[in-house]
Structure 1
Amino acid sequence: MENVRATARPAIWLMLGIILVGLNLRPSMAALGPLLSAIRGDMALSFSLAALLTLLPVMAMGLAMFFGMAVSQRLGEQRTVLLSLLIIGAATLSRLFLDSAGGLIASAVLAGIGIALIQALMPALIKSRFPDNVALCMGLYVTSIMGGAALAASFAPWVLMQTGNWRTGLAVWAVLALLAIPVWWATRTTSPDVTRSDIRKESFFANSRAWLLAIFFGLGTASYTCVLAWLAPYYVEKGWSVQNAGLMLGFLTAMEVISGLVVPAIANRSRDRRLVLGALLGLIIAGFLGLILSPQHLSLLWPCLLGLGIGGLFPMSLIVSLDHLDEPQRAGGLTAFVQGSGYLIAGLSPLMAGVVRDRLGSFEWAWWSLTAVMALMLLMVMRFDPRHYARHMG
C-alpha cells in the first residue's frame, strides 16, 4: 500500500504541474476580445488589423510546433517548459508598457512561440507518463488550457473597470506563469528531465492520414479562434456592454472546461471516437445557427452549445491523433505535425472573419462559413475507423 502511495504522489504532482502550465496557454489571446473596444478607442485599429492579434500568435504557434519537439529533445522536457513559461510571462507582462499596435502584436507573437513549445511536447509527455489514462489526462490538460481562457475572458473586463486601464487587463495574467514556474520546477525531482537526441526523427509530410488529421484539427481550431476573437465584439455590436460580452465569452469557455473534462472521460471507454466527434460537431453547428438566427433570444443557449462542442472537439482531435500510433515519441511527433499544420490553417480564420466584418459590416457571414466547415468535418469523421489506423500510418 505504501509503495502504491509513493508511486501515486509523483504522478499527482506532475499532473498538477501540467494543469498549472495549461492555464498559461490561452489568456494572452482570450483577454483581447473583451477588451477590443477599449483598445480600439486608444489605438487606430481596424477589425482586420485587430485580427492579427489572434492570427499572428496562432500562426507563430503553428510554425514553432515544427521545431518544438527538437527543442525539447535538446533541452529536455522540464527545461523547455520552464523556458516557455518565462517567455509567455514576459510577453504578457510587457503589455503594461506598450503604446502601439505593433508592440501589442509583437507581444502576441512572442507569447505564441512560448505556447507552441509547450503544446508540441505535452501530448508525448502525457502518453509516456500516463500510458493507461491518456484520454483522461489529455482531457485534464486541455481543460486547464480552456480554464485559462475562461479566467481571462471573464475577468479582463473587470480588471479594466477596476483600474481604468486595458493594459492592466492584458498584463495581469503574467501571474499565472509565476504560479506555474515553481510547481513545475519542483516536478524535476519526481519526474526526471530526459533528453532524447537519439530518437529517430520522423517526417509526416508525405503521409495522407497525417494531413487529414491536421486539416481536421485546423478546421476545428478555426471555430475556436474565431469565437475567441469575435464573439465578444459581436455582442458589443448587438448593444451589450463590454463587461457582459466578456462574461458571455467567459460562460462559453466555462462550458468548454466542463466538456473538456467530461467528453474525454466518456470517450475513454472505446477506441472508436466517431460517435463522440459527430455529436460534438452537431453541437457546434447548432450554436452557430443560433448566433446567426436568434442572437438576442436564448442568448445563453448558443454559447453553451458552442462551448460544449468546441471544448470537447479540441482534446478529442488530439486524442484521435495519439490513437494512431502506440509509441509515445512517434505519437508525439505526429501530434506536433498535426498541431503545427493545423494552427497554420486555423490562424487564417480570425483574419478572414475580420475582413468579412470590415467589408460586409456583419459577422453573420463568418458564422455561416464556419457552419459549412463543421458540416464538412462530419464527413471527415467517418474516416476515423480505429481498425485501419495501423495501415494508414504504415
Structure 2
Amino acid sequence: MRRLQNMQRASYQAASASSALPIIAVVVVALNLRPALAAIGPVLDRIEAASGLTSTGAGALTTLPVFLMGLGALAGSSLQRCIGERRGIALGTAIIALACIARLFWFSRVGLLASAAACGLGIAAVQALMPGFIKRHFLLDAGRIMGLYSTGIMGGATLAAATSAGLSLLLGWETMLGLWGVPALLALVLWHTSSASEAHGHGVVSGSVNAPPLWRSVRAWLLLFFFGVGTGAYTLVLAWLPPFYVELGCSEDAAGYLLAGLTLMEVVAGLAVSAVVDRFPDRRGPLAAALFSILAGLVCLVAMPLVLAFPAMLLLGLGIGALFPLSLIVTLDHADEPASAGRLTAFVQGGGYIIASIMPFAAGWLRNHSDDLMQAWVAMAVGIVLLLLLALRFSPGKRVI
C-alpha cells in the first residue's frame, strides 16, 4: 500500500512539474516583449548624439515596433493557420533575440531602425499568437495564466528601465541594448523544451462565416479608438518620460528609475484589476478612475514636473496599468461568443496599436521643432479627456457582434 501511495505521489509531482514548465515558459517569453523598447528611453539622448538620429528618428525607435504590433494583431489568424501557435511564438522570440544581438555590431542610425523594426515583427508574432495558445492549452485556468503573461510583459519593461542607464555606463549603450538578446535566447530554449513535452496538433477555432464585417460597426471603431489612444499614453511615456527628465537636469539613472517605478505601478494596477474587475459589471466606474489617474499624472508633468515627479510616476503608472486590461475587458464585453470575441479583439488591437505608434513619433517631431516635450503631455491630456467622454457610452449590455 505504501509503495502504491509513493508511486501515486511521484506521478502527481511529475504531472505538476510537467504542467508548470509551459506556464514558466509563457512568463519568460513575456518578459522579453518590452525590453527592446523600454531600455532605450533612459539613454536616448546618448543614442541620438552617437548615431546622429534626430528626435523624430528617435521616436521611430518606439513607433516602428508598436506599429508592427498592430499589423501583427490584424494578421494573427493568418499566421496561426500558416505555421501554428508554437512555431510562430518560437519564431517571434528568435527574431527578438537576433534583433537585439544585432545591435552589438550594427548600431548606426540605419541599424537601430532596422533592429527596431525586426523587434516589432518578433513581438507582433508572439502577441498575436500567445493569447490563443493560452486559451487553448490552459482552458480551465486561462484567466490566471493571462494575468501572469500580462504581468510578465510589464515586469520586463520594469527591469529594462531600471537597469539600462547603469548597464550603459558600465558596458556602453550598444552592449547594453545587445545584451537583451541573451534572455530572449534563453526564453527560446525554454519554450522549445516546454513545447517538446506537450502533445502536438490543435485545431484552429474558426469564427462565424456569415459574421458581418467589423468595419461597418461604429461601436467597433469607438473601441478601437479608445484602445489606441489609451495605449498611446503608454508608448508616449515609455519613449519620452526619461528624456524629458534628463532635459530637466535629472541623471540618466534617476530618469530610468522613474520609468521603472512607473512600470512597477503598472504591474500592481494590472494585478488589482484582475482581482476586482468582476465586482464591476458596469466597467465605466473603473475606466473613469483609471483615466482620471492618468490625467492627474499628466497635470503633474505639465505644472511642476520636478516637484511632483513622484506623484506623476505613481498616478501615471496606476492609471496606465489599469487602463490596458480594462480596455481589453470592455472589448470582450461587446462580443457574444468566443469566436466573435477573437475577431473583435484582433480588430481593436490591430488598429489600436497602429494609432498608439503615432504618439512617440509625433512627440519626437514636436521636440524637434520646439525643443520641449510639454506640448506632447498637453496633447495627451486632451486625448484622455476625449476618452473620459467616450467611456460614458460603454454601458453594460451593448454588443458589437
TM-score scaled by structure 1? 0.92
For 2:175, the equivalent position in structure 1 comes to: 168
Are 2:87 and 1:106 equivalent residues in the alignment?
A: no
Counterpart CA distance in 2 for 1:254 and 1:244 is 15
Structure 2 CA distance for aligned equivalents of residues 6 and 318 of structure 1: 35
Deviation of 1:370 after TM superposition, in Å, equals 0.7
**What corresponds to 1:286 in structure 2?**
296
Partner of 1:179: 186
Aligned residue identity for 1:46: T
TM-superposed CA distance for 1:306, in Å, is: 0.4
* Letter in structure 1 aligned against 2:278: N
Q: Does 1:328 align with 2:338?
A: yes
Aligned residue type for 1:358 = N
CA offset digits 1:194-243 (Å, max 9, x no partner): 24286557652222222221111100011001000100000000001111
Q: Which amino acid is the alignment partner of residue 35 of structure 2? A: P
Where does the alignment leave 5 or more consecutive residues of structure 1 unmatched? none
The verdict on how the C-alpha distance between 1:211 and 1:257 changes in structure 2, with shifts beyond 3 A counting, is same
The residue number in structure 2 matching 1:297 is 307
Q: What percentage of aligned pairs have identical amino acids?
A: 43
Do the aligned partners of residues 187 and 333 (structure 1) sit closer, same or farther apart at CA in structure 2, a change above 3 Å counting?
A: farther
**Amino acid of the residue matched to residue 60 of structure 1?**
L
AA at the equivalent of 1:162: L
**Which deviates more, 266-275 or 149-158?**
266-275
* 1:79 equivalenced with 2:76 (yes/no): no
Other-structure match for 2:134: 126
Instruction: Pick which of 168-177 and 340-349 moved more.
Output: 168-177
Displacement after TM superposition at 1:171 (Å): 1.2
Residues 68 and 118 in structure 1, CA contact (< 8 A), matched pair in contact too: no
2:39 maps to 1:39: no
* Count of aligned pairs between the two proteins: 390
For 1:8 and 1:386, the matched residues in 2 are separated by 39
| Contact 1:26–1:148, Cα closer than 8 Å, also in 2 | yes
Deviation at 1:330, TM superposition (A): 3.3
Identify the range of structure 1 (26-35 vs 201-210) with the bigger mean alpha-carbon deviation: 201-210
SS at match of 1:187: helix
- After superposition, the Cα gap between the structure-2 partners of 1:250 and 1:60, relative to the gap in structure 1 and judged at 3 Å, is same
Quick check: 1:135–1:319 contact (8 Å CA) kept in 2?
no
Does the CA-based 8 Å contact 1:52-1:351 persist in structure 2? yes
Instruction: Tell me the residue number matched to 2:159.
Output: 151
Pair 1:136–1:381, CA change in 2 (3 A): farther
SS in 1 for 2:215: coil
Distance 2:137 2:330 in 1: 18
Cα distance change, pair 8–69 in 1 and its aligned pair in 2 (3 A):
farther
Q: Structure 2 matches for 1:168-317, cutoff 5 A?
A: 168-188=175-195, 189-190=197-198, 192-196=200-204, 203-317=213-327
1:244, distance to aligned residue in structure 2 (A): 1.2
Cα-Cα RMSD: 2.3
Corresponding position of 1:51: 59
Aligned match of 1:357: 367
The separation in 2 between residues aligned to 1:101 and 1:265, in whole angstroms, is 44
Structure 2 residue aligned with 1:22? 30
* Residue equivalent to 1:382: 392
Distance 1:134 1:291, change over 3 A: farther
> Would you say the 8 A contact 1:123–1:332 is kept in 2?
no
